[in-house]
Every structure is written in C-alpha cells, then in structure tokens.
RNA sequence: GCGGAUGUGGUGAAAUUGGUAGACACGCUAGACUUAGGAUCUAGUGCCGCGAGGUGUGUGGGUUCGAGUCCCUCCAUCCGCACCA
C-alpha cells in the first residue's frame, strides 16, 4: 500500500483536535518544560513559508521533550492589535476587529478575497499546540490585564536604594514626612521641596510631581512623530530616520505623552543579560541600546568678566565625561547648538555668527547631521568658562557634533585625548595641549587608556585607570561634580494616536490623569464613526461619544491607545492561565511553569519586544507577582527564509522630433516603456552599449515611430532601466514566463508597456530578497502541503540548513525529503489491506547497530538544536535498513518514536499499524541508546603517512597501540609509502587513526 | 570607524573534543525498467590528469605527528550600532 499522506494527515489532525492530545496539565508531578514561539501578527496576507520555520523547530523540540517525560507547555496565540488592520479599516471602513477575526479564523474579506486564516494554516502543519490556551492581545479578556499591569506601573516608582520598584504610596509618605531631598529614586524632578511645601501643594501640583517619579508617566517630551502614520513611534520603531513600518519620514515633536521609565531598569537589563542563554549578537544589540558609560559629571562655572556682561545668575555648565583623568587637557568647551545656555552667554561680537550657526543646524535633519560626520563645523560664542581645577579661562564654542539629547548636551573638549575634539581644535586653530607622557599627538588624538598622565597636577605619573579614580575622588571632594553613570537608553514612549490598540485605564479631571478603578476594567474600545484623527488633530478615540465608552469618568477618557509592544510584553505569562478572570496569572500556576525554557523567534525584535518583555518581567518580579526576573531563559533566532523574486526589465526611451519637423525641440510625450530582454539588461548594466545598439536598432523599426520622430539615443543609459517585480507564480522552472499570461497578470498596466522586442516567451531575472506581498515572491506552505504533505514540508524546512541561518527558499530539494518518507513507509511492508507485514524475531546485529547509531545522533542533534543533521541521520538510517532488507518490528517501532517529532502524522499512522493504541505515541518513551550495539570486532584503521591518508587496514578493535603499530609496519603497502625511509615515529590513536611519521 | 556573524563542490550543506574533508540531499552524466511518472533501480560525480598521482575548506603565515577546526595577518559578504563625550 502506498504512502497516502493526504488521508493520513487529515485523519490525525482531526484525532489530535478531538482528543486534545497536546493539552498541558497545570498540576503535574512531571517536570515542566515551556517551549514558546513568538506569536504572529495575523495579517491578511497569511502565513508564508518563512513563518513556520521557527514553529516547526519549536514543535519538534516540544514533542521531543514530551517523549522525554516532560510536561510541556507549548501554546500559540495572536499579537492581534496593530497598524495594518487599522490602515485597512481606514480604507474600507471595516472594523479592525472583523478583519482581525477573518485573518485568524479564515473567511472572505469585504473585497471578496478568500482568506485562508492563520489558524487553518497553522493547523495543517500538524503543530502540537495546546489550543485551549490561545490568547489574542486584542481580546478584552486579555487586555483587561494589560491595563491592570499599566496601573501597577503607574502606582510604582523605582527605589534606587532597594534597587527595585516600590509602591508610590511609600514615596508619598516620604514626601509627607521629609519632602524629596533625601529620596533615592529614578525621576525627572528638578526641584527640591520640604514636607511643608509638599503638603501645601494643590492636588494638581502634587500629581505633576508624582508623574516625575511614576514608572509610567505623562510628560511633555520630544517624540518621534510620523505624520504619514499619524502617530508617535518608540525609538526602536524608527530606523535610519524613517518609520520601521512603511518607511515614512519621522520628525521630532514636543508632545504630551505616556512614557515608561525603562531607564530605571537600565543597569538590571544590562547585568541580567549575563544570566540568560541568548546569542551574543542579540545581547550586544541590547547592550549597545542601553549604552552604559561610566565617568563623572563636572561643573564648569562661567567666567564673569566678559566685557561688562555678568553671568552670575547663570548656572555652571555641567558636562559628562568618561575620561575625568584628562580634565587638565581641556582647552575649550562645546555646547550643542540647542543648549539652553547658548543665547544667554553669547557675546555681542559673536551673536550674529551664533544665530546663523543655530539656524543652519536647525535646518539639518537629525539624519543629515549624522550623515555629515566628516564636515567639521562650529562657532565661537565669545564666552568663557573657568576650569574648575586650574582656574584658567576656557573658550566656549557651539558645534553640532555635540548632541543635545545625550548627556548634558555639553562636553569638555580634550583635543589630545578625543579624536573629534582634536579635529575641531585643528580646524579652528585652538591650542592642543598634551597631557600624555611620551605620546605623539601631532597627527591625531591618543585615545587609548594605557598612557601615563602628565602636566596634570595631582594626576601626574598615574596610568589612566588610577587617574580616573583619583580624579573622581578630587572632583567630589572639591564639590565640583561627582562620579556618574550615564545610559543611552531613553524612556520609552507608550502612547499611540491610533484606534486599534489597548485603551488606557485613565480618565482626566481638570487635565489631571486618574486611574480607573479595577472593578471597571477592562475599558473596552469604544465604537467610532471613522478610524481617523479628529479635525482638531485628536486621536480617533476622541470621536467616541460619551455613551460609547463602557466606562466613562471625569471630564474625558484618555484618547491615546497603547503601543504594539504592550500586549506582547507579558503574553507568555497569560498562556499559563489564559481564562483567569480574577488575576493576570494565578500564583501557583506561574510558580509551577516558571519562565520560558526555549523561545524561538526572529532577531528583528532585539531592541523592541525582547527588551520590553524583560523590563515588565523585572517589574512584576519586584512586586512579587512572578518568581523570576528574566522571561526567556534560552532564545534562538531563526534565520529568515528569503524569497526569489522574478523581474522583467523595462527601458524608458525618449523620442525626439526628426530634423525638419517643428524644429529640434524634444517632444513632450509619455515616456515610451519598452520591455527588453534580460540579456540586453545585463549588457546595459555592464555598460556594453555597442552591442546593445543592434537591439536598439530593432527598436527603431517598431510601429511606435513614424517618419517624424526618432529615438533619442543619447538619453539611453542604464539609469533608464527599471527592474519590475512580477509574480513568481507565472514563472516556470526554466525561468520563462508566457507573454500572454504575463499581460493578463499585469492587467491595465500592460497597456503602458511595449512588448514588441520580445517573443511569446520571456526569460525573467531573479534576485533573492525578503519575502513580501509587494515583491510578488511569497511562497505559501499551503500548496506544498497539498502536494507533498505536512510531514514532508516540516522535514524539508529543517533540512534546508541550520535554523539560525538565513536561506533562500527553493523547493528543488523537497522531493528528496518526500522520497525519504516513502522509503521509510516501504520498510513496513504494508499490504493492500493496510497491515504491516513484519518480522517478530530478534533483530539482527547490523539492524541494531543502525538503530542505535541513529538514536544517539538524532538525540544529540535535538539537544543542540541541530535539526538539519537530524533529518540527514534519518535518511542514512532508512537507506541502511533498506539495504539490509530489515523488516523487524522491534527496530521499526523504536524508529517510529524517534521520527515522530519530525513527521508526526505518518508516525501516528505507523504506530497504530504496529498494534499500539491511537494517540499514545506523543507520550511514548524516547528510545534508549545502548552503546553495546555499536561495538565491532574489527575496525578499518585509516593509515596516514606524514598526515596524508593512504590506505585502510582492517584490524581487531581489541589490539593495543603497540600491536596496531606492528601490524601496520608489517603490512605490505606500508613499504611502498615509506619509500625506503625508516619511520621516525608511529602515532596510534586507538579506534581512530594511525599516522606514520617519516 | 566600532561590535557581532559567516566564508567548504554546480547547489543546500555535513564534519559535536584537533584524527579518513565533502556525509545526506538536490542537480548533472551514463545505463536499466516501464502501465511515460514530479515513478523506481544501477553506476558515476570536488578540481587537474588517460593513468600513477597531484591538489583542495576565502588569503598569507604559525602551532602540531596531524588543522575546515587552535593562534596571528589580510580580504569578502551579511547584520547591528555610529560624532554617545
């Protein structure tokens, strides 16, 4: 009987769903294991072959752990709030909840497109998810608890002495008692008040102050505003100055926004990385993002004698430096052009220059400023500061290499020790003093920390590390500053001016925010007439009628919604207890399941989701809600599966009037778009114009031209060629596309293209790119499952190569994997009535050897997540057993268990055919490796001469190295390779190799 | 510029602790069979060479009896960060 994968897979999927085979038990004596995938955003495009890669790997691992006797939690859900559904809603008027539901559950959208549905697409892959635990971040049952966690953050501040989050009530009590002078907290409060002053503040004023301490707070802050998306974006959502989604321009705007005081956790987010098993690449990205630098904050007072101007009412300039040891090398200071002090200190003489420079700087976008690194610019202010140690006058400049947003927006410039300062000084002719013993600074700054300090008073003769410590000590002693650690990590903007997100559990009275009481949660999304901002520019929720809110309080509700990362920062906890209506997760459940043992997902979340989830976990840990402070113990980033795009090439040709027809003016006409052969495109790209001119001559014969116009050959060059994406589904295996089908696919845009240069077949160009709908290179798993079955697809995706590696999608090899499964099936000798014809005798020695070799290798491969080599080992095993004509039941039964994590459907079927109870395979025992079966009487020793392998010699395994040496030297071929030399030495590695040294 | 990763046949790749480089699969070549299939089977397939043999894991060097693997140098590709004081 043939391997009928379609019937088999359908049957077992139904069986698993009906029997809830993969239900995880919350109360179990078994050890737990938590395998998690990054849950998908359910887009209308559906799953492509890249999505399941990680899911297949995690599913294989989850099944493996079940066979090893673990109680496995392997859930799946949807990150179902987000921009695409909302954009779609704006276009079509359809409620995003409806679109989202269709995208998950399948159906037909209001454009008439059939949507397969994520759930159906996931189901056909045979994943062993416990679907009873599904979560959707957009479900009110879920976001009720996202709102609740927000409230906990609001009601907390970060106590830097206890190094943990504490209740805001403790802070208020302290304010009542002592004011804020002695408070150890992470905050943005720049005023000091006594208990009496605090008590005298109005409620509104008190709240304004508390906002500067709360872990989530409302503040006017500079945010990344994306006009095209109509919302603010977090720093990790802005890449190279444009929005991560859609690539729209982003500008800086001062707005009143909710933020998360993630800064408070900077140090713990950094040190926590050492305790988790993630790749160095992701850890480094997070370290980089947090950006810790250790140094000192130093105050430079302003010099007060500048030509009658008096600065005595101005604060000193505070700078941050990581090299306080070089403070005697300071020869000037540089402020960011936006620094608030600039206008106040600039002297009359330089006022015009400063104003001009500030204007120039403000015209440049942040991106331009970053791109233009080589060009040194700056402007003297005419003002001076006083060096806090030497008392000397130090010039104050402004320059846009100093960023207003980092540190204090001011630097003490040490040209001998910092290359940018050095270049600035050289450019403007400022003195460069050397404070390093025996270092040449004529060609550039000396930036290493291994120099000995000189010309620096009390620091003379000290190496940098010691000098740094002593300098900080002196700075603090003299009260001119203090040791300080600075982080690049900025507080994360937490509100979005969008509809399709979690509403805040917040209302306003007199423009002061208040939390909604727990008993009113969740605040559900109100209905609105349009998903667009109001005419006053308020977010879409401002459109909601008072009655549209399920709870309304105060003057108004909060109009912003939460960002995408809110729901995904804690979803792994909800899977443990998805239906709990009283708590976000029950204590005993989180105590049992603990944190995620294995997390698989893409590396694009390095500084977004993965950092925020760690932050929230640490916060929940501080408050005692969870017993661990890192969410994901081991993380594997699966590589992206890339698509192969297909291109046609379009040449834009200009035409001009021939001489004698209305003079020689260019005719204003539509560009003539000619589809050119790939060969021609390649020649153009190599600048081989001569050859292509022949093709262009053919062009000049086409109907498009008449006696009055001709091609303007001078306008033709490679910049006029545009590769044009076409659907890969049109292309056959020889890279050809049928022109009739192509025109049909292009629809009306085909009318704008001239196909006269090509025949009825066209050879397309290929390029490997990210899979995306707009590139028409998406391969869905569905059709492959229909053709080959899910078991084949699962194994094939693993067989492609190491999980972490990016790889282009190519179905060429899928037959090989499919053939393996057919070969495996044939081993069972299944007759026409469906019964396996197998031998019950004791297995042969060689079959046992093959089996145990495979058990060992496959088991080891799984332990190190080497899924691709696992597949190879199954193939080798099947090949060997076929050669051996093995039909032994005992052997095959163990193999079925071994293979079942990779190919669960066919193994369930065979398991039953072997006489086992349906559904018990998933909880069978993983085969036990027995080394005894691998022991052989003889071994074929490879014999090398000077490290070159020459021949093999079959010898008993039991021989001692001395005996092996004697056998090898006595062997007839040995003389030939010795070439008359006497061996100097013979190396024998027992069981491995012999090397004869001459 | 800094940090991380990766370089092995025509292709995807394997080699887990320094011990037979290229397993396994695709593709290709030749053949067999046939109910002509995306079927199966046999043999071959790193490169040069008729062969003996030589040569071969990005480059150049080193350590070692022995290096894809360890050390140093340089090159290329990809990813992240980037006047971060």
Residue A897 has pLDDT above 90, yes or no: yes
User: Which nucleotide is closest to A815, CA to C1'?
Assistant: B38
How confident is the model over A499-521, as pLDDT tens digits?
A: 999 999 999 999 899 999 999 98
Helix (H, G, I), strand (E, B) or coil at A480: coil
Residue A56 has pLDDT above 90, yes or no: yes
Residue A851 structure tokens: 């089996």
pLDDT band at A279 (very low <50, low <70, confident <90, very high): confident
Half-sphere exposure (Cβ direction) of A317: Cα atoms closer than 13 Å: 33
Q: How far is the CA of A991 from the C1' of B17 (A)?
A: 15
Q: How far is the CA of A454 from the C1' of B85 (A)?
A: 21
User: Which nucleotide is closest to A280, CA to C1'?
Assistant: B4
**What region, left, alpha or beta, does residue A317 occupy, with left being phi > 0 and alpha being psi -120 to 50 degrees?**
beta
User: Which nucleotide is closest to A334, CA to C1'?
Assistant: B85
Residue A741 has pLDDT above 60, yes or no: yes
Residue linked to tokens 């009530």:
A169
Contact A881, A910 (CB under 8 A): no
Q: Which residue is nearest to nucleotide B67 (CA to C1')?
A: A947
Residue A491 structure tokens: 């507080």
Q: A748 φ, ψ to 5°? A: -65, -30
What's the confidence (pLDDT) of residue A754?
77
Spell out the long-range contacts of A562-565 with Cβ–Cβ below 8 A and sequence spacing 24 or more. A562/A146, A562/A150, A562/A494, A562/A495, A562/A496, A562/A501, A562/A502, A562/A503, A562/A504, A563/A234, A563/A493, A563/A494, A563/A495, A563/A496, A563/A501, A564/A79, A564/A81, A564/A82, A564/A83, A564/A501, A565/A234, A565/A608, A565/A609, A565/A612
User: Which nucleotide is closest to A787, CA to C1'?
Assistant: B38
Q: How far is the CA of A948 from the C1' of B62 (A)?
A: 20
| Strand pairing class (A753-754; A721-726) | unpaired
pLDDT band at A36 (very low <50, low <70, confident <90, very high): very high
Angle separating helix axes A96-105 and A83-92, nearest 10 degrees: 120
Work out the average pLDDT over A28-47.
91
A314, with CB counted inside 10 A (0-12, 13-18, 19+), is: middle
Q: How far is the CA of A998 from the C1' of B55 (A)?
A: 21
User: Which nucleotide is closest to A871, CA to C1'?
Assistant: B24
Contact A571, A135 (CB under 8 A): yes
User: Which nucleotide is closest to A366, CA to C1'?
Assistant: B83
Residue A375 has pLDDT above 80, yes or no: no
Q: Which residue is nearest to nucleotide B66 (CA to C1')?
A: A947
Residue A903 has pLDDT above 90, yes or no: yes
User: Which nucleotide is closest to A882, CA to C1'?
Assistant: B41
* Separation of CA A28 from chain center: 34
Q: How far is the CA of A809 from the C1' of B8 (A)?
A: 21
**Spatial separation of the C-alpha atoms in residues A981 and A973, rounded to whole Å:** 14
Q: How far is the CA of A938 from the C1' of B56 (A)?
A: 31
User: Which nucleotide is closest to A733, CA to C1'?
Assistant: B38
Residue A338 or residue A194, greater confidence? A194
Helix (H, G, I), strand (E, B) or coil at A721: strand
What's the confidence (pLDDT) of residue A229?
80
What's the confidence (pLDDT) of residue A383?
87
Q: How far is the CA of A918 from the C1' of B18 (A)?
A: 48
pLDDT band at A51 (very low <50, low <70, confident <90, very high): confident
Most confidently modeled of A62-71, A358-367, A826-835? A62-71
Residue linked to tokens 């707009």:
A774
CA-based end-to-end distance of chain A: 60
Residue A687 has pLDDT above 70, yes or no: no
pLDDT band at A612 (very low <50, low <70, confident <90, very high): very high
What's the confidence (pLDDT) of residue A676?
79
Least confident of A713-717, A822-826, A870-874, A927-931: A713-717
Residue A631 or residue A306, greater confidence? A631
Concatenate the DSSP letters of all residues of A154-178 into one string: HTEEEETTTTEEEEHHHHHHHHHHH
DSSP state of A667: P
What's the confidence (pLDDT) of residue A249?
78
What's the confidence (pLDDT) of residue A700?
67
User: Which nucleotide is closest to A996, CA to C1'?
Assistant: B65
What's the confidence (pLDDT) of residue A308?
52
**Spatial separation of the C-alpha atoms in residues A468 and A454, rounded to whole Å:** 13
Work out the average pLDDT over A166-183.
93
Helix (H, G, I), strand (E, B) or coil at A956: strand
**What region, left, alpha or beta, does residue A556 occupy, with left being phi > 0 and alpha being psi -120 to 50 degrees?**
beta
Q: How far is the CA of A974 from the C1' of B52 (A)?
A: 17
* ipTM for this prediction: 0.93
Q: How far is the CA of A991 from the C1' of B20 (A)?
A: 12
Compute CA distances A934 → A856, A881, A960, whole Å: 10, 15, 19
Q: Which residue is nearest to nucleotide B23 (CA to C1')?
A: A872
Q: How far is the CA of A156 from the C1' of B81 (A)?
A: 33
How confident is the model over A84-142, as pLDDT tens digits?
A: 888 888 888 889 999 999 999 988 877 788 888 999 999 999 999 999 999 999 999 99
Q: How far is the CA of A678 from the C1' of B75 (A)?
A: 32
Residue A70 has pLDDT above 60, yes or no: yes
Compute CA distances A872 → A55, A510, A877, A902, whole Å: 20, 69, 9, 12
Burial A832-851 (b: 16+ CB within 10 A, else e): eeeebebeeeebeeebbbbb
What's the confidence (pLDDT) of residue A310?
54
Q: A630 φ, ψ to 5°? A: -125, 130
Q: How far is the CA of A285 from the C1' of B81 (A)?
A: 8
User: Which nucleotide is closest to A400, CA to C1'?
Assistant: B83
Contact A47, A781 (CB under 8 A): yes
**Spatial separation of the C-alpha atoms in residues A233 and A195, rounded to whole Å:** 38
Burial A525-562 (b: 16+ CB within 10 A, else e): bbebeebebeeeeebbbbbbeeebbebbbbebbbbbbb
What's the confidence (pLDDT) of residue A311?
54
User: Which nucleotide is closest to A878, CA to C1'?
Assistant: B24
pLDDT band at A176 (very low <50, low <70, confident <90, very high): very high
Contact A63, A552 (CB under 8 A): no
Q: Sign of dihedral through CA atoms A49, A51, A54, A59?
A: negative
How confident is the model over A796-834, as pLDDT tens digits?
A: 999 999 998 888 888 888 889 999 999 999 899 888 888
Q: How far is the CA of A53 from the C1' of B71 (A)?
A: 37
Q: Which residue is nearest to nucleotide B64 (CA to C1')?
A: A947
Q: What is the largest CA-CA distance in chain A?
A: 109
Least confident of A360-374, A467-481, A548-562: A360-374
pLDDT band at A663 (very low <50, low <70, confident <90, very high): low
Structure-derived torsion over alpha carbons of residues A487, A489, A491, A497, reported in degrees to the nearest 10? 160
**Spatial separation of the C-alpha atoms in residues A709 and A660, rounded to whole Å:** 10
Work out the average pLDDT over A681-702.
64
User: Which nucleotide is closest to A370, CA to C1'?
Assistant: B83
Q: How far is the CA of A636 from the C1' of B58 (A)?
A: 28
How confident is the model over A589-600, as pLDDT tens digits?
A: 999 999 999 999
Residue A313 has pLDDT above 70, yes or no: no
Q: How far is the CA of A813 from the C1' of B26 (A)?
A: 5
pLDDT band at A947 (very low <50, low <70, confident <90, very high): confident
| Strand pairing class (A32-37; A71-73) | parallel
Q: How far is the CA of A945 from the C1' of B20 (A)?
A: 12
Residue A465 or residue A876, greater confidence? A876
Residue A251 has pLDDT above 80, yes or no: no
Residue A632 has pLDDT above 70, yes or no: yes
User: Which nucleotide is closest to A805, CA to C1'?
Assistant: B6
Residue A909 or residue A961, greater confidence? A909
Residue A669 has pLDDT above 80, yes or no: no
Q: A308 φ, ψ to 5°? A: 85, -10
Burial A419-437 (b: 16+ CB within 10 A, else e): ebbbbbbeebebebebbbe
Q: How far is the CA of A19 from the C1' of B47 (A)?
A: 58
Q: How far is the CA of A797 from the C1' of B23 (A)?
A: 19
Q: How far is the CA of A260 from the C1' of B85 (A)?
A: 26
% pLDDT > 90, chain A: 44
Concatenate the DSSP letters of all residues of A43-88 into one string: -TT---TTHHHHHHHHHHHHHHHHHTT-EEE----B---SHHHHHH
User: Which nucleotide is closest to A319, CA to C1'?
Assistant: B85
What's the confidence (pLDDT) of residue A718?
66
**Spatial separation of the C-alpha atoms in residues A307 and A449, rounded to whole Å:** 40
Q: Which residue is nearest to nucleotide B27 (CA to C1')?
A: A812
Residue A299 has pLDDT above 70, yes or no: yes
pLDDT band at A82 (very low <50, low <70, confident <90, very high): confident
Compute CA distances A772 → A122, A342, A984, whole Å: 19, 49, 64
Mean pLDDT, all residues of chain A: 86
User: Which nucleotide is closest to A991, CA to C1'?
Assistant: B19
Query: What's the whole-model pTM score?
Result: 0.89
Q: Which residue is nearest to nucleotide B83 (CA to C1')?
A: A401
Residue linked to tokens 């691998």:
A934
Q: How far is the CA of A979 from the C1' of B53 (A)?
A: 15
Contact A486, A292 (CB under 8 A): yes
Q: Which nucleotides of B are covered by protein (CB under 7 A)?
A: 3-5, 11-16, 19-21, 23-27, 38-41, 65-67, 78-85
């Amino acid at each position: 009987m043939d391997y009928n994968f379609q019937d088999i897979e359908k049957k077992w999927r139904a069986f698993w769903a009906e029997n809830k085979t993969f239900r995880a038990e919350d109360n179990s004596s078994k050890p737990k294991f938590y395998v998690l995938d990054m849950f998908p955003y359910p887009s209308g495009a559906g799953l492509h072959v890249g999505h399941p890669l990680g899911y297949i790997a995690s599913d294989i691992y989850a099944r493996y752990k079940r066979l090893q006797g673990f109680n496995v939690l392997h859930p799946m859900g949807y990150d179902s709030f987000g921009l695409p559904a909302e954009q779609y809603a704006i276009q079509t008027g359809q409620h995003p909840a409806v679109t989202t539901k269709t995208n998950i559950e399948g159906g037909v959208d209001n454009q008439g497109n059939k949507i397969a549905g994520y759930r159906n697409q996931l189901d056909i892959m045979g994943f062993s998810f416990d679907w009873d635990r599904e979560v959707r971040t957009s479900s009110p049952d879920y976001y009720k608890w996202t709102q609740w966690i927000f409230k906990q953050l609001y009601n907390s501040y970060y106590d830097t002495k206890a190094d943990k989050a504490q209740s805001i009530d403790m802070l208020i009590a302290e304010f009542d008692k002592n004011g804020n002078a002695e408070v150890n907290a992470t905050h943005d409060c720049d005023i000091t008040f006594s208990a009496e002053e605090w008590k005298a503040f109005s409620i509104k004023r008190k709240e304004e102050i508390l906002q500067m301490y709360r872990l989530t707070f409302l503040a006017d802050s500079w945010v990344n505003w994306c006009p095209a998306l109509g919302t603010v974006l977090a720093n990790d959502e802005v890449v190279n100055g444009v929005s991560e989604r859609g690539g729209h321009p982003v500008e800086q705007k001062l707005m009143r926004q909710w933020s998360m005081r993630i800064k408070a956790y900077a140090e713990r987010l950094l040190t926590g990385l050492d305790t988790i098993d993630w790749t160095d690449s992701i850890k480094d990205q997070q370290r980089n993002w947090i950006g810790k630098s250790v140094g000192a904050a130093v105050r430079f007072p302003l010099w007060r004698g500048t030509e009658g101007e008096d600065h005595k009412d101005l604060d000193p300039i505070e700078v941050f430096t990581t090299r306080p040891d070089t403070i005697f090398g300071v020869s000037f200071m540089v402020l960011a052009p936006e620094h608030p002090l600039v206008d106040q200190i600039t002297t009359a003489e330089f006022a015009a220059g400063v104003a001009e420079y500030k204007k120039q700087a403000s015209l440049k976008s942040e991106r331009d400023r970053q791109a233009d690194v080589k060009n040194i610019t700056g402007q003297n202010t005419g003002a001076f500061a006083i060096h806090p140690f030497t008392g000397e006058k130090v010039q104050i400049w402004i320059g846009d290499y100093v960023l207003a947003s980092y540190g204090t927006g001011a630097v003490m410039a040490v040209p001998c020790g910092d290359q940018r300062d050095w270049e600035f000084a050289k450019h403007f002719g400022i003195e460069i003093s050397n404070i390093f013993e025996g270092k040449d600074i004529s060609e550039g700054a000396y930036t290493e920390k291994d120099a000995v300090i000189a010309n620096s008073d009390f620091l003379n003769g000290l190496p940098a590390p010691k000098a740094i410590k002593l300098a900080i000590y002196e700075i603090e002693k003299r009260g001119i500053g203090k040791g300080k650690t600075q982080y690049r990590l900025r507080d994360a903007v937490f509100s979005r001016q969008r509809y399709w997100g979690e509403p805040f559990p917040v209302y306003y009275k007199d423009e002061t925010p208040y939390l909604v009481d727990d008993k009113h949660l969740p605040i559900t999304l109100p209905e609105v007439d349009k998903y667009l901002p109001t005419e006053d520019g308020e977010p879409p929720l401002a459109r909601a009628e008072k009655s549209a809110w399920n709870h309304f309080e105060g003057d108004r509700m909060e109009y912003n919604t939460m960002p995408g990362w809110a729901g995904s920062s804690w979803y792994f906890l909800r899977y443990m207890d998805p239906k709990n209506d009283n708590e976000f997760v029950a204590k005993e459940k989180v105590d049992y399941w603990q944190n995620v043992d294995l997390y698989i997902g893409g590396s694009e979340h390095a500084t977004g989701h993965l950092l925020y989830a760690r932050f929230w976990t640490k916060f929940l840990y501080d408050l005692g809600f969870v017993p661990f402070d890192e969410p994901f113990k081991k993380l594997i980033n699966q590589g992206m599966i890339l698509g192969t795009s297909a291109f046609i090439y379009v040449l834009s040709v200009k035409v001009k009037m021939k001489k004698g027809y209305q003079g020689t003016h260019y005719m204003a006409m539509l560009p003539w778009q000619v589809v050119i052969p790939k060969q021609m495109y390649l020649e153009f790209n190599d600048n081989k114009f001569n050859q292509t001119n022949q093709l262009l001559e053919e062009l000049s014969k086409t109907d498009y031209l008449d006696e009055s116009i001709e091609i303007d050959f001078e306008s033709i060059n490679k910049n006029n060629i545009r590769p044009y994406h076409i659907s890969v589904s049109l292309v056959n295996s020889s890279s050809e596309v049928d022109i009739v089908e192509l025109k049909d696919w292009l629809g009306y845009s085909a009318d704008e293209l001239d196909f006269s240069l090509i025949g009825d077949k066209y050879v397309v160009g290929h390029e490997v790119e990210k899979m995306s709908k707009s590139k028409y290179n998406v391969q869905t798993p569905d059709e492959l499952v229909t053709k080959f079955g899910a078991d084949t697809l699962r194994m094939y995706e693993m067989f492609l190569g190491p999980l972490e590696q990016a790889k282009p999608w190519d179905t060429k090899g899928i037959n090989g994997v499919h053939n393996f499964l057919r070969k495996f099936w044939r081993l069972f000798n299944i007759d026409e009535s469906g019964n396996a014809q197998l031998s019950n005798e004791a297995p042969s020695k060689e079959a046992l050897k093959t089996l145990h070799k495979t058990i060992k290798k496959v088991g080891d491969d799984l332990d190190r997540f080497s899924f691709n080599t696992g597949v190879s080992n199954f193939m080798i095993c099947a090949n060997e057993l076929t050669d051996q004509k093995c039909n032994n039941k005992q052997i095959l039964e163990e193999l079925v268990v071994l293979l079942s994590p990779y190919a669960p459907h066919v193994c369930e079927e065979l398991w039953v055919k072997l006489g086992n109870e349906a559904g018990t395979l998933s909880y069978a025992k993983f085969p036990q490796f027995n080394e005894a079966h691998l022991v052989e009487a003889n071994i074929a020793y490879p014999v090398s001469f000077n490290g070159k392998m020459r021949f093999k010699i079959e010898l008993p395994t039991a021989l001692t190295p001395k005996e092996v040496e004697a056998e090898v030297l006595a062997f007839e071929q040995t003389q030939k390779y010795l070439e008359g030399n006497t061996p100097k030495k013979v190396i024998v590695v027992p069981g491995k190799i012999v090397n004869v040294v001459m």
